[in-house]
């Protein structure tokens, strides 16, 4: 009898076409789910008869309670090599092997600039107006050349964002708790003396930090109040780094010129969420990692993970081996 593999949140219905699943076809039946399961009860009802689950990024939480309710589960494959919503200790206790995949840093870099440029030049407003035969030219674009780009975080993604900013002729500054002068010099940017200094002096602030106890709620109402009313905030990192209520309030009050957001406290975003109607906002449905090349990697390596597990030699194991 074949093992059953569930592929979760395949919104675009591409999981089985962007990668070659033939290496496991004789032993594994693959079922894809295009809709998100909003509750744990829904997940259990849908996944109770599956031996393998492929989950995309951090869309679905796997706490201890869920592992306990899925006794048939033996292999969980998560895209990327870092995941904050899987209880690895519980997986190990329940005999579930968890494996990851590679994940490119270039797609979120590109989306960061899509949001930043869209905000700066009023792309959404002007495009919608043109399609609706509205006013011809409503906005005056914000310049990038000579303006300051402040980066919260200068890791793989932040440093690539910095490179593009420098190419635009921007004055790029960066800050994070452990960032050094040497690291900034290597990236060709200036180290800000503090988070507060970076927020108060930047025309554009872009967040590129991992979510942790230190970064959760890093930008609340007091921090957003430091930013200039002509400044823009871009978050393609993690929603919890920014206080969502404080951001909505700042956008409504006009104390920020605008924000570009790709991550949310609840995903998919509820229909009544205040960010859906917030002014001065360009928002995308967590597309940072959603690209053809990245998906080919995610699902191609998911197949490799399943094949290796079937052969008794799991690869890219996360959180230890049960």
Residues recognised as catalytic = 238, 267, 286
Using the structure block, give the residue that is written with the tokens 């989306």.
Answer: 111
Q: Is 196 helix (H, G, I), strand (E, B) or coil?
A: helix
Residue 118, token pair as written in the block: 């869209």
Contact in structure between 91 and 321 (CB atoms under 8 Å): no
DSSP state of 195: H
How is the beta sheet containing 52-55 ordered, strand by strand? 28-32, 3-7, 52-55, 75-78, 97-99
How far apart CA 102 and CA 81 sit, in angstroms, is 6
Q: Is residue 62 packed enough to be buried (19+ CB in 10 Å), middle (13-18) or exposed (0-12)? A: buried
Bridge-based pairing state of the strands 190-191 and 204-207 = unpaired
| Polymer length of the chain | 322
DSSP state of 274: G
Half-sphere exposure of 298 (CA within 13 A, CB side): 25
Residue 108: how many other CB atoms lie within 10 Å: 25
């Amino acid at each position: 009898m074949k093992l059953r593999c569930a592929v979760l949140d395949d919104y675009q219905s591409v999981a089985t076409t962007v990668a070659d699943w033939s290496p496991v076809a004789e032993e594994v039946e693959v079922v894809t789910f295009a809709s998100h399961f909003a509750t744990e009860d829904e997940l259990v009802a849908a996944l109770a008869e599956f031996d393998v689950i492929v989950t995309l990024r951090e869309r679905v939480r796997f706490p201890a309670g869920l592992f306990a309710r899925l006794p048939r589960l033996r292999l969980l494959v998560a895209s990327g090599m870092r995941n904050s919503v899987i209880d690895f200790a519980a997986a190990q206790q329940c005999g579930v092997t968890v494996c990851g995949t590679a994940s490119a840093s270039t797609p979120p870099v590109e989306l960061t600039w899509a949001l930043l440029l869209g905000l700066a030049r009023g792309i959404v407003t002007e495009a919608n107006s043109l399609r609706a035969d509205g006013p011809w030219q409503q906005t005056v674009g914000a310049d990038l050349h000579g303006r300051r780009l402040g980066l919260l975080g200068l890791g793989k993604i932040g440093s690539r964002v910095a490179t593009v900013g420098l190419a635009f002729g921007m004055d790029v500054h960066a800050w994070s708790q452990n960032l050094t002068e040497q690291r900034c010099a290597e990236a060709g940017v200036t180290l800000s003396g503090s988070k507060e200094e970076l927020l108060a002096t930047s025309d554009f602030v872009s967040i590129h930090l991992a979510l942790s106890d230190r970064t959760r709620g890093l930008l609340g109402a007091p921090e957003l109040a430091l930013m200039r009313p002509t400044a823009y905030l871009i978050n393609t990192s993690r929603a919890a780094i920014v206080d969502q209520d404080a951001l909505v309030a700042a956008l409504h009050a006009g104390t920020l010129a605008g924000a570009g957001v790709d991550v949310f406290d609840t995903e998919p975003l509820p229909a009544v969420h205040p960010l859906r109607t917030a002014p001065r906002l360009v928002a995308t449905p967590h597309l940072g990692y959603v690209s053809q090349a990245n998906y080919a990697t995610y699902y191609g390596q998911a197949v490799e993970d399943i094949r290796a597990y079937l052969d008794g030699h799991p690869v890219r194991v996360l959180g230890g081996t049960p």
